[in-house]
Amino acid sequence: MSENSHQLKRTLGFTVALTTIIGIVIGSGIFFKPYAIFRATGGEPGLGILAWILAGLLSLAGALTASEIAAMIPKTGGMVTYLHDIFGPKIGFLSGWVDSSLYQTGSIAAVAVVFGVQASSLLGLDPNAYWPKVVISIVTIVFLGYLCNLGAEASGRLQMVLTLCKMIPITLIVVVSFVKGTGHDVLTPLVGPEIDPGKAFSLALLAALFAFDGWISVGMLAGEMKNPSKDLPRALILGLTIVSLIYVVINIAYLWVMPANQLMLTETPAADVSRVLFGRSGGQLVSIGILISVFGSLNGFIMTAARSTYTFAETRKIPFSEALMKVNDNGSPVNATWFVVIVSSIYCLTGKFDLLTDLSTFMVWIFYCLTFYGVIKWRRERPDAIRPYKVPLYPVIPIIAIMGGGYVVISTLITQFTYAISGIIIMLAGLPIYYYYTMKETKASGYPVKSED
């Protein structure tokens, strides 16, 4: 397979964008995160359900806001491209650095690890054993990397099929839960005794936001969409509205079968609820459906992560940038895809789902807030610019998105200081690389490089 061009092909439509959003977002979080949420609340349902609702509203406010920028900058790269154009090359570089080195790759690893846990359980292996889940997760990432290099159109078709398939276990769990479930409290009490409500809500919200995360990644496909200015905002808004409704309903369905103090004890709550509803054999069939869902999420993450790395390489401010910009005969960024595969596989060696999700969610919300502020910045600086889509209720929606994101960042710094500082250190480690390549470019040209920041 030869690499012959740096140009991606515009072959994707609204349906692929919509199913990619739903496919990425509805992945592992809805099936595996309830235990972390209800563990944070001390085994009580109220604050957990409120965290799911608020996470959906924050994500929707973010999508409504970011869509204005996405429609104005319909280019491959998503948030990395937006921040470069709005704030200049340094912020754009740090966004790309975190995206490629931590957020996208860490999220892929986290989803792959829970795929390994669920697959190990179905195969009759110990799901808590280290090596089975790690080996399965890495093999799955490598296989999907190969598939993604067959082209965006092929990956997009696979994503549509997997998204439709993943709705089967969700629909079964919801419908049968309300028919056969005995019913448990879903809103009261809020938290368990001796639980700090503020800390509990912060931890629950961070966990729920991971389950919603990935929605902005579809912007990385804009350069391959036929009509991105029109289709991208529509896909973001409709996709997140659908996901929000599904998440709240399925969590109520879980609670209708098992109380929160039981859900907090299992890392595979959806599978456990399925066994209660359908028996052992029926529960295994639903567990296979859950695996398909997680597989689809991984496919979407790898496809979009490769485009992010490809766009980041176009800055020519990272090592091996020319190689990472290579596009194969199928129109896929082949080397960027394998870079994502390798880094994600390394993160899989931690075997820690919650560590990877909390770290990646915290870091990405820093750049989300910058993106939301970018809408206000450009409204002020470029009032006459063409805006194919405008965020409704401006500036209320962007301010809600910024305030919500600010709460996530600050509360994580307070409640999970070590994780937060680790992420910030990884981000700042990119600065020496940025300055090295900037100085190299200056010397090569013989003139100072004009700074945009």
Instruction: Confirm whether 4 is domain-assigned.
Output: no
Residue-wise pLDDT tens digits, 95-110: 989 988 898 899 899 8
Instruction: Confirm whether 2 is domain-assigned.
Output: no
Average pLDDT over residues 250-255: 91
Q: Which residue has the higher pLDDT, 95 or 297?
A: 95
The boundaries of the domain holding residue 35 are 12-445
Average pLDDT over residues 201-216: 84
User: Tokens 């740090």 identify what position?
Assistant: 94
Asked whether the predicted pLDDT for residue 381 surpasses 90, the reply is yes
pLDDT of residue 222: 61
Instruction: Round to whole Å and give the CA distance between 43 and 166.
Output: 28
Question: By CB neighbour count within 10 A (0-12 exposed, 13-18 middle, 19+ buried), where does 421 fall?
Answer: exposed
- Return the closest-CA partner of residue 56 out of 233, 228, 249: 249
Token pair listed for 3: 């690499």
The torsion angle over the Cα atoms of residues 213, 215, 217 and 221, rounded to 10 degrees, is 160
Instruction: Confirm whether 103 is domain-assigned.
Output: yes
Instruction: Confirm whether 255 is domain-assigned.
Output: yes
- Return the closest-CA partner of residue 401 out of 42, 66, 39: 66
Q: Three-class SS of residue 219?
A: helix
Asked whether the predicted pLDDT for residue 452 surpasses 80, the reply is no
Q: Which residue has the higher pLDDT, 4 or 253?
A: 253
End-to-end CA distance of the chain: 40
pLDDT band at 453 (very low <50, low <70, confident <90, very high): very low
Instruction: Confirm whether 452 is domain-assigned.
Output: no
Number of H helices, E strands in the chain: 19, 2
Find out whether 10 and 226 touch, Cβ atoms under 8 Å. Answer: yes
Q: Which residue has the higher pLDDT, 210 or 399?
A: 399
In the beta sheet, which residues pair with residue 3?
A: 328
pLDDT of residue 2: 41
Asked whether the predicted pLDDT for residue 35 surpasses 90, the reply is no
Asked whether the predicted pLDDT for residue 126 surpasses 50, the reply is yes
Q: What percent of the chain has pLDDT over 70?
A: 90
Q: Look over the chain and give the mean of its residue pLDDT values, rounded to a whole number.
A: 84
Asked whether the predicted pLDDT for residue 31 surpasses 90, the reply is no
Q: Which of 160-164, 230-234, 258-262, 304-308 has the lowest mean pLDDT?
A: 160-164
| Count of beta carbons in the 10 Å neighbourhood of residue 311 | 27
pLDDT band at 218 (very low <50, low <70, confident <90, very high): low
Instruction: Confirm whether 141 is domain-assigned.
Output: yes
Side chain identity at 198, as an amino acid letter? G
pLDDT of residue 25: 77
Pairing relation of β-strands 327-328 and 3-5?
A: antiparallel
Instruction: Confirm whether 6 is domain-assigned.
Output: no
pLDDT of residue 1: 38
pLDDT of residue 77: 65
Instruction: Round to whole Å and give the CA distance between 109 and 298.
Output: 9
pLDDT band at 54 (very low <50, low <70, confident <90, very high): very high
Residues composing the chain: 453
Provide φ and ψ at 204, rounded to 5°.
Answer: -65, -40
Q: Which residues contact 291 (CB under 8 A, 6 or more apart)?
A: 115, 118, 119, 122
pLDDT of residue 369: 95
Asked whether the predicted pLDDT for residue 353 surpasses 80, the reply is no
Q: At what angle do helices 46-72 and 353-381 cross, to 10 degrees?
A: 50
pLDDT of residue 279: 87
Asked whether the predicted pLDDT for residue 224 surpasses 80, the reply is no
Asked whether the predicted pLDDT for residue 447 surpasses 60, the reply is no
- What Cα–Cα distance (Å) separates residue 375 from each residue in 67, 88, 112, 243? 9, 15, 34, 24
Asked whether the predicted pLDDT for residue 5 surpasses 50, the reply is no
- Total number of domains in the chain: 1
In the beta sheet, which residues pair with residue 12?
A: 225
| Count of beta carbons in the 10 Å neighbourhood of residue 105 | 29
Residue-wise pLDDT tens digits, 145-156: 998 888 766 666
pLDDT of residue 55: 92
Farthest CA pair distance, the chain: 75
The torsion angle over the Cα atoms of residues 406, 114, 242 and 407, rounded to 10 degrees, is -10
Instruction: Round to whole Å and give the CA distance between 66 and 389.
Output: 10
Instruction: Confirm whether 112 is domain-assigned.
Output: yes
Asked whether the predicted pLDDT for residue 3 surpasses 70, the reply is no
Any long-range contacts for 316-322 (C-beta under 8 Å, 24+ apart)? 316/437, 316/441, 317/89, 317/93, 317/433, 317/434, 317/437, 317/438, 317/441, 318/97, 318/433, 318/437, 319/433
Q: Which residues contact 50 (CB under 8 A, 6 or more apart)?
A: 190, 201
CATH at 289? 1.20.1740.10
Token pair listed for 224: 């391959």
Instruction: Round to whole Å and give the CA distance between 303 and 20.
Output: 10
Asked whether the predicted pLDDT for residue 232 surpasses 80, the reply is no
Helices (H), 325-446: 334-348, 353-381, 396-415, 417-428, 430-445
Asked whether the predicted pLDDT for residue 203 surpasses 70, the reply is yes
